[in-house]
Structure 1
């Protein structure tokens, strides 16, 4: 199983690197963000409330590669969902518990500690639990989207308390 994950990861990284802009496209655009300077704001409305996000490179809404950091608080969860394009995730700090399949099952998750790397092929249902504050980095090709297995889990379908 781990060998299959490694093969999938290598293929995904190769695909992302081949789609990355050439060095000439970056002339005069050198950028450095130190950890304390990363501009976290509320995560997109497609994710459950409570997380923060920072776009480090590119634009997730447009064609092309982008890099986004997500800061998930302790107790945060992302219900089962899929993405139409590969998603490469690196755990920067904390710990993510990643599960596969259309139903969230804490008993079948794999723990990804800080420094871990994961790639999720397009269309594979997965979910995540965060027992401690965790920062993860998502590298992917835009436009990025998230499709929840159960539409009731989609925060965009939630009715605000004042509207009930």
Structure 2
């Protein structure tokens, strides 16, 4: 459920602050497949409290069925975000959301993603600690090595 160490280059949710897109730093995230990266924008998602992160997923990448222990709101920043619901990855169950779309995902909702038509970036808002639990242990990248 925990996500491991996260970068601490973010805005505080309790102080006035701002940033520019070019200052947002994407980094690999152990719970994501190779190539997918995460940037912390606001807060510390590893601790209790509000957070905002951005997730960039390269074209063709799949995030297999998983859940999150926290409620989330996804805003599509760029590309097309394909998400399906359920415990089994089923391409026929994917729903496409373009830039500007918002998806509300209550905690513990089984779902999956696919960067079917190319890279996408989503901004995720939630209240930490952030977590991701894959429904099938063989799908969890934290247990795999990439060559």
- What range describes the TM-score normalised by the shorter chain of this pair? 0.7 to 0.9
| Residue 67 of structure 2 is aligned to residue 77 of structure 1 | no
Runs of 4+ in 1 over 2 A off after TM superposition: none
- Name 2:40's counterpart in structure 1: 55
- Deviations 1:18-56, CA, capped at 9 Å, x for gaps: xxx6xxx42xxx3222222211122x2011111121100
Q: Secondary structure at the match of 2:45?
A: coil
| Residue 140 of structure 2 is aligned to residue 147 of structure 1 | no
Aligned residues: 134
Please give the alpha-carbon distance, in whole angstroms, between the structure 2 residues aligned to 1:70 and 1:100.
Answer: 19
TM-score normalised to the size of structure 1? 0.77
- Deviations 1:123-160, CA, capped at 9 Å, x for gaps: 110000112111100111111110101110001122x3
Which has the larger strand fraction? 2
Which has the larger helix fraction? 1
- Name 2:112's counterpart in structure 1: 127
Q: Which consecutive residues of structure 1, in runs of 5 or more, have no partner in the other structure?
A: 1-20
- Deviations 1:99-121, CA, capped at 9 Å, x for gaps: 00001111111101111101111
Change (3 A) 1:156 1:31: same
Q: Tell me by how many angstroms 1:161 deviates.
A: 5.7
Q: Tell me by how many angstroms 1:65 deviates.
A: 0.6
Larger Rg: 1
Please give the alpha-carbon distance, in whole angstroms, between the structure 2 residues aligned to 1:34 and 1:75.
Answer: 28
Q: Which consecutive residues of structure 2, in runs of 5 or more, have no partner in the other structure?
A: 1-12
Instruction: Give runs of aligned pairs for residues 81-92 of structure 1, distance below 5 A.
Output: 81-92=66-77
TM-score normalised to the size of structure 2? 0.86
